[in-house]
Amino acid sequence: MDALQERFRQIATFIFDVDGVMTDGSVNALESGEQFRTFNIRDGYAIERAVNAGYRVAVLSAGSQVGVRKRLEFLKIKDIFMGGPTEQKIYAYLGYLNRDQINEAEVLYMGDDIPDFQVLSRPALLSTCPADAADEIKAVCDYISPVAGGRGAVRDVIEQVMKAQGKWLSWLTDVEPFKLHNER
């Protein structure tokens, strides 16, 4: 087993940025002033699988849109850190680890741009980014997803971890076969 696969096997906590990671980084501005984002449904499915499998899933974003928060809450993400200054993400990250006594060697963080640099540069965590991340971010990451932000990069890393730990499709063995409504 290679070193990256071994790192995937150690992960118990996923932490994601929003813009450029969970979304493609586009901001749609409405006449009302609302700025909405588009999320990838497959990323959402993978987050649901991870939460149901007992992983910690957290979001760390400088943005503070109500619609984004509602989407994250719908995905049952409990640890949502939004609205802080972009240059201070590192403090929110360290505060979360300290608050919940999280072992940094068991953390996978995915970011895509300069505000994530300080977190992604920490040697203990598994640093990851989407394929379309800033060059400076790619340079410090342990794993660069072949998928762009907002297009399945979140699912890619969750799937990599859960497959390495034998948990990705393990729930299928517990599911009864699907029957049509009119089958007897």
CATH number of the domain where residue 135 is located = 3.40.50.1000
Residue 144, strand partner residues? 129
Residue 107 pLDDT exceeds 80: yes
Name the binding residues for substrate. Answer: 19
| Count of alpha carbons within 13 angstroms of residue 69, beta-carbon side | 10
Number of domains in the chain: 1
pLDDT-based confidence at residue 80 (cuts at 50, 70, 90): very high
**Is position 8 within any domain?**
yes
**Is position 162 within any domain?**
yes
Q: Between 180 and 20, whose confidence is greater? A: 20
Q: What is the reported pLDDT for 34?
A: 81
Q: Model-level pTM?
A: 0.90
Name the binding residues for Mg(2+). Answer: 17, 112
**Is position 39 within any domain?**
yes
**Is position 176 within any domain?**
no
CB < 8 Å & 24+ apart, contacts of 147-150: 148/24, 149/20, 149/21, 149/22, 149/23, 149/24, 149/25, 149/112, 150/20, 150/21, 150/22, 150/23, 150/24, 150/25, 150/26, 150/38, 150/39, 150/40, 150/43
**Is position 177 within any domain?**
no
Phi-psi region of 166 (alpha: psi -120 to 50; beta: other; left: phi over 0): left
Residue 60 pLDDT exceeds 90: yes
Residue 31 pLDDT exceeds 90: no
CB 126 within 8 A of CB 102: no
**Is position 181 within any domain?**
no
State the average pLDDT over residues 108-119.
96
Chain-centre distance of CA 88, in angstroms?
19
Domain ranges, residue 112? 3-169
